[in-house]
Structure 1
């Protein structure tokens, strides 16, 4: 199943489906078919197979009419061929996935694809290489700021395994927001059958007792919660140290979207970890 659509519109705020997240039925892998696309596609396909989800692969042909860079059939067909070749190298039949080729503003295209196809989880890559920074790092950074659904970011230059050991963190948000994530966690953690550790960084201004956090997560993980705490005024460093101390395959972060002011963490921990950790990072958006 495939589709081609041309879009020109600039990126605009879109209504999010994150706070009414259901079970994981569709996984979107978004790529611009750069040199790092194969590991990203392979990871997304592995997750889809493990979770029993439908795989949607989006190839973006970036255009900029202001610079004389217009849509043409050659670019669209070339992009589609590159994607099919990548799938063939992984022994994935294009007929078994929803294959989309889109042209226009990448951020706008990804957001609209997530919403129109009711995507449950988006997988993207990052790159530290200079040649790919414009196409991968910058785009992923924009999506991290305001993701319409849970987002998983991997480093395609680092061998990334499917999650067998997951570190789940909590950013001192209202515990009621976890009610919106029950179906997502139920679908993700149960089917993944991974070991998980709930890591809670406490602060002097902490408004919740660790027992309350443990009880809240017990309701969405449906098993005994292994809670570990660390007292620190720098949650980012505390999480980084925890990741380096054990062999985790993924870290899960709750990310506040539409923040009006910076919190006491001095910026987005999600963004910092996304671009500094070799571990796969899953970002779950939380809306005010």
Structure 2
């Protein structure tokens, strides 16, 4: 095995570092500059220094905190629902999929559809006046809820997101479940452990890293949700379905407040970075 010298290692890393500095570092510096500047589309090339005014405008904006609260609730609820359903399906369908793995393909179909298209599809299906679901509910039961109004839109969005992304969690959990060595299960069965005991004390602990990773990935994706929410309900009545991504989009493109939008995105980045650092520190402490 060839061992690289430090100088050679730095030489091979140079193209990667240059790529990151050019395509990630430069936009990051520009964003930081714009976040402390009074800048709009008209003054994009000549921004004026504004200090912390943009950050203060963001943290004093009630709509920003409403968007933070929506994103937190949405990310947590969808991650919990997707992981719970995915784990149940992975355990329940394991015998069937072991014999017929080709059945995995139709279960993955929701992942093949773009989230924006999913939002448009459900917007048509659940539309209060033109949608088939409200029509038949009204026809058969005499009443139908307004799925997309301010009272029900959040629950509708959680269900739509869960239906689309549960297959992702299911796929991860299925792979982790079938990767458990069969002799471990056989040894536990010979010791008299029931199926429930094997699940609780053997299978779930072995799947725990995958469960944690899937939950974390789905929470991040739910927290930064934009496309399917925007196409299904937009910002919602009174901003009831405004996520942080939608808030930043509206501040940037609709208000033209570029500095404010970038300041909000940097605050979101800092919060995500602190969360990652905290999880990393917790993981290192647990490993130690």
TM-score (norm 1): 0.26
Q: Which has the larger radius of gyration?
A: 2
Q: How high is the TM-score relative to the length of structure 2?
A: 0.26
User: Taking CA–CA contacts closer than 8 Å with sequence separation of 6 or more, which of the two structures ends up with the larger relative contact order?
Assistant: 2
